Amino acid sequence: MSLLTDIARGMLARRKRQTLVSVAGVALGVGFFIGTAAVMRGFQTYFISQIIDVQPHITIKDELRRPLPQAAELANPGAAVALAGLRPQDRIRGIRAPGDRMAILEAIPGAAAAPLLTGQALMRYGARDVSATVTGIDPLRYPRVSNIAKDITQGSLDDLRTTANGIIIGVGLAERLGISLGDSMNAVSPRGVTLLMKVVGIFRTGIVSLDQTQAYTLLKVNQILQDRPSVVNQIVLRLEDVRQAEPLARMIEARFGERTESWEEQNANILTVFTIQNSITFSITGAILLVATFGIFNVISTVVFEKTRDIAILKSLGFTERDIQVLFLIQGLAAGAIGAAMGCALGALIIEGMAQIRFGSGATSGNDRFILAREWQIYAIASGVAIVSAAVAAIIPARRAARLDPVQTIRGAA
């Protein structure tokens, strides 16, 4: 085999410039693929990690995926008669037996769970009324599933327990109300309950919609405010391994019956956008590689054409058709491999170049540069595709070379 490699090297070396051009084509394709893939994957990975960081990984809701069968349907299972105009049975909203469920959920290794009761309330301070979402939390469990402890800028989570009717509000909400730490205000729920609540903490998440509308209080306090004693309407979970979210959510839903959503399900629209984005990137870089492949096809075809005599003489010396085919496949593979190697270097340069760019937009989240994925898998995929397509491009001229009739060539030369 090393003999064929030697001959292939000699043949390619004779067409240095043309070989270089086609190799450069492959290198460009591979390089740009690596560059764009790094930006795309970097952004997507960052985005997903933000979602994973901010949102619960699994949310159990106090609703069912399908409406419960009504009493009339239960009484006549499999009946051939359709019932219409039934008045559905009222169902008391809320997750049943949250204590039992919490015990089961907390026994899952690598998972932390916290029960919540969320509801609306009107915050009334001085002359201002601002509507807010009040979430009743367990201050021992909730920090294990969220970043609340990290986000609190004034006061502390523990003060919820030590202060009667304590409340922690978002920084935007505090500004809209004009209220500061230690002040008291009235909270009015849609059920008409009014509580005088004291601000014991202010948080800032950086997400404007949360900071302007969210408030936290003790689960028990919110149950009084919402007039729903002992009721929990959400259980949120955080997992050590986020990839387990979807299967675990399905397991929980199958066991408890309540609608259970993983973070993937809740963000399905964004994940779909990513898939579309990826297919666009892959088709464009695929097109670049296709053009590069034509370059390789061109070089190998030219070499085959120019080397007709050499092919004839090699055959007369006792080289088989297969030898000749391999000889030109090696040349295609070599062009592809060199192109891939150069492309990897180019890609690394593009990535480092982009890493130097600053947008200077002063975005709130502090991102003023490309988030780049420096993953070896990207290089491996790009190189693999380049080498395989180079080999495919070389197959046609290589087969033609193998089938050349040496007698015709030698006769033609004489």
Place of tokens 């970043």: 147
Choice between 117 and 312, CB closer to other proteins: 312
Q: Are 255 and 249 in contact (CB under 8 A)?
A: no
Choice between 127 and 317, CB closer to other proteins: 317
Ranges of H-type helices in 181-262: 208-213, 219-225, 245-256
Determine if 50 is a binding residue for other proteins (CB under 8 A). no
**Pairing status of strand 184-188 against strand 111-125:** antiparallel
| Token representation of residue 391 | 């080999």
| Token representation of residue 302 | 């030219």
From first CA to last CA, the distance across the chain in angstroms is 32
Out of 65, 220, 243, 411, point to the residue binding other proteins (CB under 8 A): 411
Q: Find the shortest distance in angstroms from Cβ 282 to other proteins.
A: 39
Determine if 1 is a binding residue for other proteins (CB under 8 A). no
Choice between 249 and 300, CB closer to other proteins: 300
> What is the maximum span of the chain, computed from C-alpha positions, in angstroms?
109
> CA 210 to CA 132: how far, in whole Å?
10
> CA 81 to CA 124: how far, in whole Å?
54
Q: What is the DSSP letter of 242?
A: G
Q: Are 218 and 166 in contact (CB under 8 A)?
A: yes
DSSP lists the bridge partners of residue 122 as 131, 188
> CA 313 to CA 414: how far, in whole Å?
13
- Binding to other proteins (CB under 8 A) within 285-324 occurs at 309-310, 312-323
Q: Find the shortest distance in angstroms from Cβ 401 to other proteins.
A: 14
Determine if 17 is a binding residue for other proteins (CB under 8 A). no
| Token representation of residue 228 | 């729903």
Choice between 309 and 399, CB closer to other proteins: 309
Q: Find the shortest distance in angstroms from Cβ 1 to other proteins.
A: 11
> CA 345 to CA 255: how far, in whole Å?
52
Choice between 306 and 352, CB closer to other proteins: 306
Choice between 2 and 361, CB closer to other proteins: 2
Determine if 399 is a binding residue for other proteins (CB under 8 A). no
Nearby residues of 23 by Cβ (< 8 Å), 6 or more positions away: 335, 338, 339, 342
Determine if 369 is a binding residue for other proteins (CB under 8 A). no
Q: Find the shortest distance in angstroms from Cβ 350 to other proteins.
A: 35
Choice between 373 and 410, CB closer to other proteins: 410
> CA 172 to CA 185: how far, in whole Å?
16
Choice between 8 and 30, CB closer to other proteins: 8
Q: Would you give the binding string for other proteins spanning residues 319-358, x where CB under 8 A is met?
A: xxxxx-----------------------------------
Determine if 364 is a binding residue for other proteins (CB under 8 A). no
Which residue stretch of 9-17, 104-112, 215-223, 341-349 sits at the interface with other proteins (rule: CB under 8 A)? 9-17
Kindly calculate the radius of gyration of the chain based on its CA atoms and give it in whole angstroms: 34
Site size for other proteins, by CB under 8 A? 28
Q: Find the shortest distance in angstroms from Cβ 295 to other proteins.
A: 22
Determine if 412 is a binding residue for other proteins (CB under 8 A). no
Q: Find the shortest distance in angstroms from Cβ 18 to other proteins.
A: 15
> CA 365 to CA 385: how far, in whole Å?
37
Which residue stretch of 10-18, 30-38, 274-282, 329-337 sits at the interface with other proteins (rule: CB under 8 A)? 10-18
Question: Which residues would be at the binding site for other proteins (CB under 8 A)?
Answer: 2-3, 6-7, 10-11, 13-14, 309-310, 312-323, 406-407, 410-411, 413-414
